Amino acid sequence: MRQIQADVWETATESPFPGLTTHAYLFRRDRGNVLFYATSIQSELDAMQELGGVSYHFLSHRDEFGVSLSRVRENFGAKLGCHELEKEDCAKYCQPDILFTGREQLLDDVEVVPVPGHSPGSVCFLVTASGKRYLFTGDTIYCAGEGHWRAGYIPGFSTVEDARGMIDSLAVIRGLEPDVVLSSAFSGDTGYQAMSPGDWPGYVDDALAGLRLEIEVA
């Protein structure tokens, strides 16, 4: 793992299948560390133990479900959280303890923001800590490299209705004013990016423009 912020660590890159790269992130806090997304690398779980373990394991959407969820439970006894709409798929690997149902303050420093579109139960997490606002976007929006941002629309898999939901969701997170944005999947050089004041709305608009173009082509 590598430390990327005062209280955030990034796991090693994984490639679940060709063309997709992912990270998970550990948010270290006095009231119990939070792991966002999923990692299947045991050495990274060992490193988390050295950093105080994992008290909560929060998933942004169903693509993060897998055998690694039970490993995190076995290693740390972490409470697992996912959206209510995806609980049955999650339970195939590990029974969730916490179900997200709407926009809510989950912990005193973690807010859940539903963003349906990439999947029915996709959520973002807005974390306020160390004087910063971290936005964990899952696969809803990610940096595609060279300053371009993309929405998590998958041609041939996502429907036009999915895209419409994603447009509404991007409009919601456009106004969140994050200082750092951390996605799960990414296709550029890194899965996270620090924001200068005023940057974020333009990046979201970039992703929206690309999404609307893909809908037209479809």
CB-count burial class (<10 Å; 0-12, 13-18, 19+) for 77: exposed
pLDDT the model gives residue 72: 97
For domain 2-217, give the fold: Metallo-beta-lactamase; Chain A (3.60.15)
Q: Please state the domain extents for the chain.
A: 2-217
Residue 178 in this model has a pLDDT that exceeds 90: yes
Residue 14 in this model has a pLDDT that exceeds 70: yes
Question: Residues of the chain with pLDDT > 70: what percent?
Answer: 96
189-218 per-position pLDDT tens digit: 678 999 998 999 999 999 999 898 887 755
Helix (H, G, I), strand (E, B) or coil at 158: coil
50-103 per-position pLDDT tens digit: 999 999 999 999 999 999 999 999 999 999 999 999 999 999 999 999 999 999
CB-count burial class (<10 Å; 0-12, 13-18, 19+) for 30: exposed
Rounded Cα distance between 180 and 212, Å, is 25
132-174 per-position pLDDT tens digit: 999 999 999 988 877 789 998 877 677 878 888 999 999 999 9
CB-CB neighbours of 93 under 10 Å: 18
